[in-house]
Amino acid sequence: MPISPARAAAFDILLRVEQQDAYASELLHAEHYAKLSPADHALATELTMGVLRWRSLLDRDIAAASSQSVRKLDTEVLAALRLATYQMQHLDRIPARAAIHESVELVKRARKRSAAPFVNAILRKLSQVPRPSNGHLAALHAASTPEAVAETSAQPLWMVERWFREFGVETTKLICAHDQSVPTTTIRLGSGGSEEELRSNKIELAPGILLASARSVRSGDVTRTRAFREGHIAIQDEASQLVARLVGKGSHILDCCAAPGGKTASIADRNPTSTIIAVELHPHRARLLRRLVRAGNVRVLAADAVRLPLVSQFDRVLVDVPCSGTGTLARNPEIKWRLKHEDLADLQSRQLSILQSAMSHVASGGRVLYSTCSLEREENSDVVEKALASDKSFRLLDCRHELEILQKEGELVWKDIDSLISGPFVRTIPGLHPCDGFFVAILEKI
């Protein structure tokens, strides 16, 4: 029996995530895997993301059934074990014998044939273990300590301990539950976006929860529609869309860390007559940005945002910096297994340098919007405070006022502004809000 395309794809992607620090969501949408049938692509996505979300609990069960330490297993062997264990523990529709057989075949395919009997024995043992009757997330609901929350939600303990201190136990549990669920696919309707065209392609939509311009996809694959291919719609989380909305309107706009381009396109859509410069450090990502952002008023520049090769001054600047991404773990679960506490200091140093560089290109009366998709204080308010301390020509604006304007204009449909505010900042929290976790600060040049 040949290995199914979905399991082969999931196995190969998991190996690349582990060995090359690749991102699963990007690989799943790469051209090679986009050729899978809709059913196979859906299953490959379920298997890949499921293994990454629940990795620590899968490893715990594998370790209990194995005579060898999980850490000593070859990457290919461990990936096959995780893949089958996830199917047996989390998916009702897949028979255990199919999951076991194909994982054994995947090990052989990976040229680890000598490990096939070992994999078969471990998986057969695990197939006899009954699933928890109440599920992992039900156990999370009853948890009250960082250790219990981390274990039941398959999160690193050091992250959970930080969130307990920052957000409290109940909000932390909301974050962890959100991270372990399949996130809603959300789209932004551009000026040429047509809901009628999407519905004619059997795409079922629901209104946005935060923004009037957003739609959540209830069923169907928007990536196979002409509207998506021609750039009339874009897949973009609602919090990310909100960041672009808060940039506002200007005649000269700078986007400092622009790839992959969702916010750039949104800003261009709202500012069709403005001059917009989108900066991206990596040339290959800059080339992709040029293809994806088709607005004629956007100029893409491959450059380091820390040393911007510009003399112009801008009235609006977006500084959406590279960050830990802890607000996006539902979409990028591999982050939680890579990130270390000590990485935050290095990230902060880079973020501060980018923000300070951007501040030097803001015209008098202009604004710089600093944002991350991180939940960590070091990357958020700490960076803003250090930047303001180093340049007294800026003042911090209260984001509440900006949200109220968006609400009055009918763009922000979320009623509870208080929940979006943390001091002078905007902060969305996964689970508390129906979106990724983002932080926003707005600084104005005096």
Q: What is the pLDDT of residues 192-215, one digit of tens each?
A: 557 888 988 889 999 999 999 999
pLDDT in tens, 140-190: 989 999 999 999 999 999 999 999 999 999 999 999 999 999 999 999 987
How high is the pLDDT of residue 193? 57
Pick the CATH number of 5-127 from 1.10.3720.10, 3.40.50.720, 1.10.940.10, 1.20.1070.10: 1.10.940.10
pLDDT in tens, 409-429: 999 999 999 999 999 999 999
88 confidence band (pLDDT: 50, 70, 90): very high
Q: In what order do the strands lie in the sheet with 233-235?
A: 204-207, 214-219, 186-189, 233-235
Is 325 or 222 the better-scoring residue by pLDDT? 325
H/E run at residue 247: helix 238-247
pLDDT in tens, 9-46: 999 999 999 999 999 999 998 888 888 998 999 999 99
191 pLDDT exceeds 70? no
Instruction: Return the percentage of the chain with pLDDT > 90, whole number.
Output: 85
How high is the pLDDT of residue 132? 67
How high is the pLDDT of residue 295? 83
Q: Tell me which fold the domain 236-445 belongs to.
A: Rossmann fold (3.40.50)
Q: How far apart are the first and last CA of the chain?
A: 70
1 confidence band (pLDDT: 50, 70, 90): low
134 pLDDT exceeds 70? no
CA angle 352, 355, 361 (to 5 degrees): 145
Tokens 């202009």 label which residue?
Answer: 366
CB 367 within 8 A of CB 436: no
Q: What residues pair up with 278 in beta bridges, in sequence order?
A: 255, 300
pLDDT in tens, 295-338: 889 999 999 999 999 999 999 999 999 999 999 999 999 999 99
How high is the pLDDT of residue 228? 87
Mean pLDDT of the chain: 94
pLDDT in tens, 372-414: 999 999 999 999 999 999 999 999 999 999 999 999 999 999 9
Average the pLDDT over 104-130 and give the result. 95
CB 61 within 8 A of CB 99: no
How high is the pLDDT of residue 136? 72
How high is the pLDDT of residue 275? 96
221 pLDDT exceeds 60? yes
Give strand ranges (E) for 246-343: 252-255, 275-280, 298-302, 314-320
Spell out the residues 6+ positions from residue 367 whose beta carbon is closer than 8 angstroms to its own. Answer: 248, 315, 316, 317, 397, 442, 443, 444, 445
The ranges of the chain annotated as CATH 3.40.50.150 are: 236-445
Average the pLDDT over 64-87 and give the result. 96
Does the domain formed by 186-234 have CATH 3.30.465.10?
no
135 pLDDT exceeds 90? no
How high is the pLDDT of residue 352? 98
231 confidence band (pLDDT: 50, 70, 90): confident
The ranges of the chain annotated as CATH 1.10.940.10 are: 5-127
